[in-house]
Each structure stands twice: as C-alpha cells, then as structure tokens.
Structure 1
C-alpha cells in the first residue's frame, strides 16, 4: 500500500481560483451530483452510490479507480486540461460509452457545496486519499489521508469515493423527489449503469428512466428509434375517438447538414442529429412541490448522455398558456464532437448561444417541435373537454327539458285555475279585477319554475366574437377579463389557447352558439364583446355572431382595430375603443388605453364580477400593449 507520508498530492491550479470559483461554480446540489455521477460513468462504473448520512454526502462508485504510482492521480489533479482532444478519446476505454467529461473541471464540483472534500480511491489493491479544499497553500499541496482513514462505505473492489463534509445543501427528504430530480438532470441510467441513493429516510435504485413522467403525459412526440420504448409507458387516452391518434407522433431523428469549422480552423461537413422526446402533461397539478425542485416543464439539451442545458423553454417559448405543460429531453451529440470547438459553459449549465449548432437546434425547436407539441396538447384538451362536456351537456339538456315541462305545467295549471275562478267569481268584475285574479294565480304557482336559476347558472356569460387574424387583440381582451376574475368557464372564445373557452371538440360551432342564442328557455342573455376589423367584416362566422346577437338583443361592446368602421346592427351610436395593429404588436394612444381599461372594468362589474383597481388594470394592460 505504501506510506502515505511519502506521497505528495499537488493540484495544478492557482489556489486563489479555488477560493473564488469553488462556492459559485454550480447553483444546485443536483448539478454537483450530476458531475460526480458523470465522472463515475467515464470511469466505467456500473454502480454509483449517493449516500447522505450525518454531516456528509458521499458519492461512491465501482469504476476503475485511480493509481498513484501509475500517475492517474496526477492526471486527476491536473485541473482544466481537456480530456478529449482526438477521436481516440471519444469512448471510455474498452466500452461503447461516449465520454461525458471534456473540460477537466467537473472534479471541482464538490467544492460548490463543501469546502472540505475527501477523495479516496482504490485500484488493484492500491489505495490513495487526499483532501480537496477551497483553501490551498501557495505550494499547491493537498493534505494526504492516512491509510487507516481511507474508508469506503460500500464498494469493496476498485472505485472512488468522494466525501463532501458539512455540505451547505442537503438532499430532499423524500426518495421520490430525489429520484425525480436526479433523472431530470442525469437520465442516462440503465441495467449497465445504476444509481443507488441511501439516506436516513430510505434507499432505492434508479436503473431506468422514470416511467411516471411518461405516464403523466397526454401527448408524446418521439424522435429516433432508441426512444421507442417510451411508448410502452404512454397511456393514450380517448381510445375510440378518431383524433386520439394525433396524441402520439413517432418520427425518425431530425438530421440537418451543417458546415462547421474545427478547432484547427478547417471546415468540414457534419450532420446535426437531434433525437429524444418531447411531451405535454395532462395537468400541472401537484408538480414541483418543493421550491428547490427543478421545474417540471422544461426542454433539456443533452450531449453524449450528459446534461448541457436544463431548460431552453424561456429561449424558444412564446409565453403561450399551453407551454406550461411542455416537457422534453433532446440529445445532440454533435455538441460534444471532439474535433469541434467546445461550446459548453464551464459549469455545464448552458451552451454558447452564438455557436451555429446551438442556433440550429433552437430554430428547429422554436419553429417545429414546440408548436407541434402545443397543438397536440390542445388536441388532448379538446378531447378531454369533449368527454366532460358529454356528461355536462346531457345534464343541461335534462334540466332544460325539465324546465320546459314545468313551464307547460305552469301555463296549463294557471290558465285552468284562472278560468275556473273567473267563471265562478266574474259576476260584474271589471277587467282590472280579472287581471288581478290571473296575476294571483301565477304568483301562487311561480315556485314551479325553481329550476330556472340552475339553468341560468350553467350558461356561458361572455362571447368574444372575433376572427383568427385578430387573435392578438382578442387575446388581450381575454387576458384582461381573466385578470378581473372572470372564470374561463364563463367565456366563449373560439381561438383561445385555453381549451376551456373554445367550442368543444367535434361539435359544430353554429350548433354550439345556437344553444346560447336561440334554443334556451332561459332569458339570461349573453354579453358579446366584438373585436371588429376589416378582416372580421369578411369572416362569415363572425358576421353570423353579429346577426345572432342582434336578433336576441344581446348587450355588447366594441373593441375596434384602426381603419375599420363598425356598422349596424352593432350599437354604433355608443363610443367604441380603437387600437392599432402593427404585426403582432397592439398600439394605443393614452385615451384609447384608458378607454380599454374602463370598458373591461364596466363589463365585468355589470356582470357581477369583482374587478381589480383601475391602476392595477392599467399596469396589467401595459404588459401587452404599446402606448404611443
């Protein structure tokens, strides 16, 4: 084994850099664990043990270990030296595993959560150990561990143990939370590479991608045959419905040709291959229970199985409501191509955004993948709403039929009783007396119509009448209604991103609107907000809604797009609000801005909703429009 006093451990980095870089290199304990687990993977380990006990966190693996006499430890302590320089370095020696490490700084990850890290290693019976610290003397020498202090928790053969003493952070208390966070940041587990977690609260092993994530999806898009196994855990809802087939989309890997410069400056042709999966949750309820958990809606980028950027959604997203349901992991191994420039940031929490590889992936996700999965989630929402509405509509129809029946009974009973009383009491009564008799009879039997309020309460209350080309302004109207406590179930808005407001899937829009405008014994009128424009005047559906609103004498208000002049039968005698549209931007002058706020508040107050203060409404509207 050798006398540890004869061994010298020197780290090849300025001690001052360790002090400055150590605490701030990584922002989350799971990023640290991912780096240490990746090191174990590159050491050809088959098992990694993450152990939290007492005042320490340990990451121990059964990899090949390191030898002092063979120079392995000298290489380990040579910080920030690139570990992959040629094509011969791509794979872990003797395996088909692609190396994850490249920069040579992942070994410092543990210093982000502990200022005293014990590194112990064993190879072919030879044991070595030293203390990696943020505070190193000017001679760069590290404290050596005595032979009797080199202790492994589990591994008996070759391997390495990293002990983080008095860590600044700790793992979650529940095994489920630990497992979910590990899988989000290090999904490359399987029968050949297992992660075992041991805490005071229990122990478990992670040897397959978390099935629960896939089981919780309502829509799934797969890129590449190596991810086809995920289909086994995808529960496609609404079997029997024709549109249910649209909830699963299996494709080949996306391949895009790129001409890139190598590290040596030479140009070459490469295939940018994107594989993986992207899905949409059925619901976000009960997700991210702890503030320290990683977000559940994310699109991660991985290369050679290692996380490079946890979430590109803020970059590719358009702040649509449905994006909160999106989750995915995309693998792009060209990001780690050895002969190309290194594009990963030093802490493995992002990539250089000006690299053409990164730009190409972002473009593909933004223009292709994300809109597709959002549309698929909308389809799921429509199908789900249709199933729920079938039951609700049946009950509403039953209530309407019962009310109609009671109306007929009421009319029959009151007219019959009134006739009888008139016959027996008419005498020399005046017409005024006859009227009193009829009114008294109607009042006596009025409770027979007790279902009316229930029927009224089930009706939609606001229709946003518009055409798809005016969706930008209509969206703002919808958002401001929501801001003033109008629930989605009270709104009909056919182009809304929220399926609750849209016409139920597989239901004809005109049949649906007729339920509210015509085929109802309820006298509760729907309020209509017309978003008018030159495009709306040419849209048959929107014009039909104007006609229906006029026939039923529904109250309404107008939000107009500049250059169009609203016409009768709309109430053009009243003042309307006008906005200008420049592409996707909505512009208002200060008067029209104030008018917009006042109209929204008046609509909500008149319908009985509790509105926010005017200043709060102005602040909210300012988020969506430009005031010129």
Structure 2
C-alpha cells in the first residue's frame, strides 16, 4: 500500500472528561451556569435550580436543574448531546434557536460541567417534537473503573446503557423539557449564601428577556448588583464638554459605540467605597453571558490615578467577541484570548477608556475636596461675622 493512502484513527481518552469537567468547573456557579446556558439554547422559558442549603456532603444530597425547553429526541441525544465538541452553531457563528435567540453554546463541552462538582450526572428529557422520554446516567466512577492501567480507555467505542427509554408518544410532547440531576456531589462544603447573586453576575439575559426566568430554590434570580453604591457613573455623568468628540449615544445608562465596524455597549462607574473584590474591574458579556471576568484590560501603568482602580466597576456588552470564525473565549468562559489579533483594537480601546475615566475620577475627587474645604471656610466666615469686633481680634 502506498504510504500516502494510509489512515490513522483519532481516539478520545476517558481522561478528557477530567480535563473538560472536573478541572474546568470546580465551582458550583461555573458548573451550573453552563447547564443554564443549555436551557437557553433549548428555548426554555423557565429554569428551576434546587439545591440543599446545608448537609450538602451527605450521600443523598443532589442539585437539580430543570427546564421546560424543547427537550431531546433520542437521536438528538446520541448524535448531538453526547458528541464531544459538537458545535450547535455549525458554520453560522450568529445562529439562532427556533425562537430567535442567539445560541450561547459553541464548544460542545458544557455537558461535562456537572462533573466539576459531582461524579454522577442523571439526564432526563422529553422531546417536544417526538414525545420520546429517556433517562441516562453518566457516572464518572464508571468511566474510571474501566481505566485499569491508569492511561484511560477509548470511550468513543464503549456502549453505555440507557436507564429508561419510552418511544415516541404525541401525548407526552406537551411535557417537554430536560432535568439534570447532579448526584454523588464532590463539594467539601455547603454552597455559599451569595450563590444566587454570583449567578446573576454570569448573565444579562434574565434582566432583558421576559420569556426566560431563572429561580433558585423557588426564588427569582436577584438583580445584578454591579452598579450599587455608585458615586460617578459613565457615560451618564459626562459633562457636555467631556462628551464632545467621543461619538457616542446613550441608551439605558450605557454608551453605544462602534469599533472596527462592530457595535458594543459599555457602562463604567466608580463606587463610593472600594468595590467588592468579585466586582472590581470591567466584565465583558457576549451572547448574554460572561466572557471575561472583571479585569482592567491588562493595564499595568500610565494611569494618573492608580488608586481609582480600587473603586472601578463596569460592564461591556460586546457580542462581536463571540462572532468571529475563531473562538475568542476560553473554554470556561471567564477570559478572552487577548493575544488574538482580532481583539487587539478592543484591548487598546479598553486601556484608553480606563485612563480617560480614572483621570476624570481624579479631577472630580479633587473638585469635591475643594468644595468641602471652601464650604468649611465659608461657614467659619459666617460665624466670624456674627462676633463683636473685639471678639474677632482675640
């Protein structure tokens, strides 16, 4: 046989599950956020998250994510959901769901997110199209049990049983949806009380879409608290003179701009006291979901008021970051690959904007201090005027 005609077989080792699940999603917020994204892409209108607030280390403890989305037929489950790396968008980076939603999923890895906090994932789904109903369990311990020599096994060729399968039934179509149960939890402590607030910072969709509601232990997801306790808020607090030449318009407290032909929105503010650590910096959202955790555009110097960074919070809504042919967002969706040429001008814009606004912060703080001093002097002068001439001298 001619060497040019030889073929090789690419195999996926079982240890990839550790790398795509347990290693990347070690926090409940990150893991569950991926499952919420799947519900959004399934055109769900309601997502219910339930978890125990105490005794989460008990063997019976479980976390449940239930949605009323379109569900999956068995064929979809096999060919798409269980297809590692399956891209729902295909070649259309701006693909939408049947309801017209911009699809969040792109990497095809979120299905393993649950393994970051649990070793058993139970999936139950009823298809809105076929009425098929099935329950399937992915047990990390089962995967590992087949890895006798510690090198992993080729799970692409391994068949796994389905717990329950009921064929097409039109009467069940109306009960469509998917329920994910995370069992055999690997968390060492109870989920933090600020979990709902932390989850609200991962998305902007629940604040803008009346047809997508998230509840956590039967309570609505709270409003994002990024812009609480604000002292200076831009672009709203720009003076007319400061806005000259900026070429922006303001919509709902956000500035609307274009960069290299790509529209985006931003809002950057300074808090009255140093910002919370988890809010300090500028978050970037793409396709309604966090793409970059709060940061300062990798700015390390040349700031006239370095101290201002401790008070800085902000959000940028830049869908274009998630619309390039090459994926710019890290697998865990907490960072953008800023080494890519496609986002270089965005990085430079962010650095320039931070320098501009911290300079304005410094000027406003200086002016405010001067006004306080002048106010004290004026009050002292008023008191002095009320004294008798002989008392003023003394």
TM-score w.r.t. the length of structure 2 is 0.75
Deviation readout 1:244-290 (Å, 9 max, x if unpaired): 9969x845633233xxxxxxxxxxxxx33332322222223xx54xx
CA 1:313 to 1:197, structure 2 compared with 1: closer, same or farther past 3 Å?
same
Map of 1:321 onto structure 2: 307
- Counting only pairs closer than 5 Å after superposition, residues 339-350 of structure 1 correspond to structure 2 as 340-350=325-335
Q: Does 1:160 align with 2:178?
A: yes
What's the secondary structure of 1:363's corresponding residue? helix
CA shift, 1:317, in A, is: 5.1
Cα RMSD after superposing both structures? 3.4
Q: Does 1:310 align with 2:310?
A: no
- Counting only pairs closer than 5 Å after superposition, residues 225-374 of structure 1 correspond to structure 2 as 250-251=249-250, 253-257=256-260, 271-284=261-274, 288=276, 295-313=278-296, 315-316=298-299, 318=301, 320-337=306-323, 340-367=325-352, 369-374=353-358
CA shift, 1:146, in A, is: 4.5
CA 1:214 to 1:312, structure 2 compared with 1: closer, same or farther past 3 Å?
closer
Map of 1:393 onto structure 2: 377
Of residues 134, 137, 145 in structure 2, which corresponds to 1:131? 137
Q: Does 1:60 align with 2:66?
A: yes
Rounded to whole Å, the distance in 1 between the matches of 2:291 and 2:67 is 22
Deviation readout 1:453-493 (Å, 9 max, x if unpaired): xxxxxxxxxxxxxxxxxxxxxxxxxxxxxxxxxxxxxxxxx
Q: Does 1:78 align with 2:83?
A: yes
Does 1 or 2 have the higher relative contact order (CA < 8 Å, sep 6+)?
A: 2
Rounded to whole Å, the distance in 2 between the matches of 1:142 and 1:403 is 94
Rounded to whole Å, the distance in 2 between the matches of 1:220 and 1:409 is 47
Conserved 8 A contact 1:116-1:132: yes
CA shift, 1:394, in A, is: 4.1
What's the secondary structure of 2:365's corresponding residue? helix
Map of 1:112 onto structure 2: 116
- Counting only pairs closer than 5 Å after superposition, residues 32-71 of structure 1 correspond to structure 2 as 32-53=31-52, 55-68=61-74, 70-71=75-76
TM-score w.r.t. the length of structure 1 is 0.49
Map of 2:171 onto structure 1: none
CA 1:214 to 1:133, structure 2 compared with 1: closer, same or farther past 3 Å?
same
Q: Which has the higher helix share?
A: 1
CA shift, 1:405, in A, is: 6.5
Conserved 8 A contact 1:317-1:366: no
Which structure has the larger Rg? 1
CA shift, 1:299, in A, is: 0.9
Q: Which runs of 5+ in 2 are unaligned?
A: 1-10, 147-152, 167-173
Map of 2:201 onto structure 1: 184
Report the number of matched residues: 341
Conserved 8 A contact 1:50-1:58: yes
Map of 1:171 onto structure 2: 191
What's the secondary structure of 1:392's corresponding residue? helix
